[in-house]
Amino acid sequence: MVIAGALVVTGAATAVAVSPEPAAELAHDNGVREYPWFDQGASAVAPPADVPVVEDEPVADEPDAAPDEPDEAVVPTQDTTAPTLAWDRTDAPTTRVEDRSVDLAWTFADDVTTDGPAQTLVQLDDGDAELWASAEWSTDPDLDDLADGEHTVTVTASDEAGNWSAPLTYSWVQLPPAGATPEVTLDEAPWADDADPVTGPSATFELFTHYDLGPEYGVETFFSLDGAPAERVGEDGELTFDGLAAGTHTLSVHAISELDGSSAPLVLTWVVAD
């Protein structure tokens, strides 16, 4: 008896189950066709023996890329060059009471900036240095009560980097009011009677040179005997002549000041006895 497509044999024969004919394609709502007889877990079909099998070569790990080096830092250039100062205007090195003001001006030079100095210091003699806002310095000694004698102004300046210039100095001599010309007088003569000046072949004169400003301001005394070229008188003012010939002799003495010129000559005439 045939039942629903299954064949059953009775007796000693072995029963064999026969699968039914493939059913029609089963449709699912998702539109995918399934076939009940397809074994999705079946093994893959091996390729023919004459087709070489190419195995994938192992891929070596690429070395880690070197980290990017940071950009070099830009180091600013350090200014280490000192600025320079130079005199632009100065007075004469010697001034008098009639014109005792000192007027100075200087220039500032730097290799980095043209804006001028960051700081300027001005110092008079051994006093304290003062901050100065300009490139000029002047003084009226009558107002500033400067003593007579030598004075010095020192100027230094710095740039924005803190470099200081070498000192720039100016010196002058402050003089008192102009005095009269020097005067030479005879302190001691070699004769006993001025009315009858007579000496032997040796004669000594002691002279004195007077000058209101004093000898420290450049006064020199000169003498000439009997018209000979002038010679300098020593600091002690003493003149000695030996081996004078008999007869009349003349000694002329004068002093010269660097500031006020020459004095009137002192002329001495005497007789050397036989």
Pick from 79, 80, 81, 82: nearest CA to 164: 82
- Strand boundaries in the chain, DSSP class E: 84-89, 94-95, 102-109, 119-124, 130-131, 136-139, 149-158, 168-174, 183-188, 198-199, 203-210, 219-225, 231-232, 238-241, 247-257, 261-262, 266-272
Secondary structure element (H or E) that encloses residue 141, with its range: helix 141-144
Q: Does residue 105 contact residue 85 with C-beta atoms inside 8 Å?
A: no
Q: Which CATH architecture has domain 183-272?
A: Sandwich (2.60)
How many helices (H) and strands (E) in the chain? 1, 17
DSSP assignment, residue 134?
A: S
Backbone dihedral angles phi then psi of residue 30, each to the nearest 5 degrees: -85, 0
Quick check: do 84-174 and 183-272 share a fold? yes
Q: Which pLDDT belongs to residue 2?
A: 40
Q: Does residue 172 contact residue 94 with C-beta atoms inside 8 Å?
A: yes
Q: Which pLDDT belongs to residue 25?
A: 46
| CA atoms of 248 and 268, how far apart (whole Å) | 11
Other CB atoms within 10 A of residue 186 CB: 15
Q: Residue 60 is which amino acid?
A: A
| CA atoms of 217 and 211, how far apart (whole Å) | 9
Each domain of the chain, given as residue ranges in start order, spans 84-174, 183-272
Class of domain 84-174: mainly beta
Tens of pLDDT, residue by residue, the chain (274 residues) = 444 444 344 444 444 444 455 444 444 455 545 445 445 555 555 556 665 655 666 666 666 666 676 666 666 678 888 999 999 988 766 676 666 678 899 999 998 888 889 999 999 999 999 999 999 988 776 556 677 788 899 999 999 889 999 999 998 887 777 777 889 999 999 998 888 999 999 999 999 998 877 666 778 999 999 999 999 999 899 999 999 999 999 999 999 987 778 899 999 999 999 8
- Helix, strand, coil tally for the chain in percent (to 5): 5, 35, 60
